[in-house]
A and B are shown apart, each in its own frame.
Chain A
Amino acid sequence: DAKTTQPPSMDCAEGRAANLPCNHSTISGNEYVYWYRQIHSQGPQYIIHGLKNNETNEMASLIITEDRKSSTLILPHATLRDTAVYYCIVRVVFSGAGSYQLTFGKGTKLSVIP
C-alpha cells in the first residue's frame, strides 16, 4: 500500500500557483519524498525529490514540513500543459536489498483551467 495520502483532484487557474499537498505521516528518517506526474497516455515524469530541506528546480518547488509528515509541491505559474496526475511517493534512501521500487498511490488529478 502507498504510504502517502493525496486529494483525488484539484483545480487551478492558468497562471496561478498550484499547490499540491501530500501527507506522509509514517515517513522514516531513511526515506525521500519523490514527486512524479503523468500526463494522459504518457509515462510518469520525474519532477523533484527531497529528504529534509526544501528543494527547487526548473519545474517546481518542494516544501517539506519540519516534522517531515507532509509536503507540498508548488508549480509557480501553472499552464494548461501542467494538467496531469501528480504522484507523491515515499522511497527509501538506502536499501540493503538494493531494490528501490516506487510504490504509487492514485495521485492527485490536477486540472489547469483557462
Chain B
Amino acid sequence: GAGVSQTPSNKVTEKGKYVELRCDPISGHTALYWYRQSLGQGPEFLIYFQGTGAADDSGLPNDRFFAVRPEGSVSTLKIQRTERGDSAVYLCASSSTSGDTQYFGPGTRLTVL
C-alpha cells in the first residue's frame, strides 16, 4: 500500500516568510509524528498527534512553529517568520496506533535564504 507522503519535496523561501509543509500518513494510521533533521544529525522529535489532538508538542523549538491535524489524517506543519536556522529536512512518520512502529515519509527539504 501507499506509504507516508510529504509535499513539497523541496521548499525554498526567504527569511521572514511563512511556510506550510504537508504530511499524508498511511491510511488508517491514528498516530502522526513530525521530526526535523539538520545536516549531519539524526532526526529530532517536534510534535506528536493522536487523532486530531497534539498530545505532545514538547519538541517544537519556539512559538513560530505550529502544527495541525484537523480531521485526524493529513497534518500541516506551519512555520512563521522563517529564519535561516530553520533550514533542515522535515520528516513525518505515522503508526497504526500510538505504540506501534513508526513509518517515515521521504521528508521536505526546507531552505531559508
The interface size of chain B toward A, counting residues with CB under 8 Å, comes to 27
Name A44's contact: one of B41, B43, B44 (CB within 8 Å): B43
A102 contacts partner chain B, Cβ-Cβ < 8 Å? yes
List chain B positions with a Cβ less than 8 A from chain A.
Answer: 4, 31, 33, 35, 40-45, 48, 50, 55-56, 59, 91, 93, 95, 98-99, 101-107
By DSSP majority rule, is chain A's interface helix, strand, loop, or mixed? loop
Closest to A93 in B: B99
Name B56's contact: one of A34, A43, A46, A99 (CB within 8 Å): A99
Number of A-B contacts (CB under 8 A): 64
A43-B91, A44-B43, A44-B91 known; A100 vs B98 contact (CB < 8 Å): yes
Closest to B41 in A: A106
B55 touches A99 (CB 8 A): yes
Most buried by A among B42, B91, B95: B42
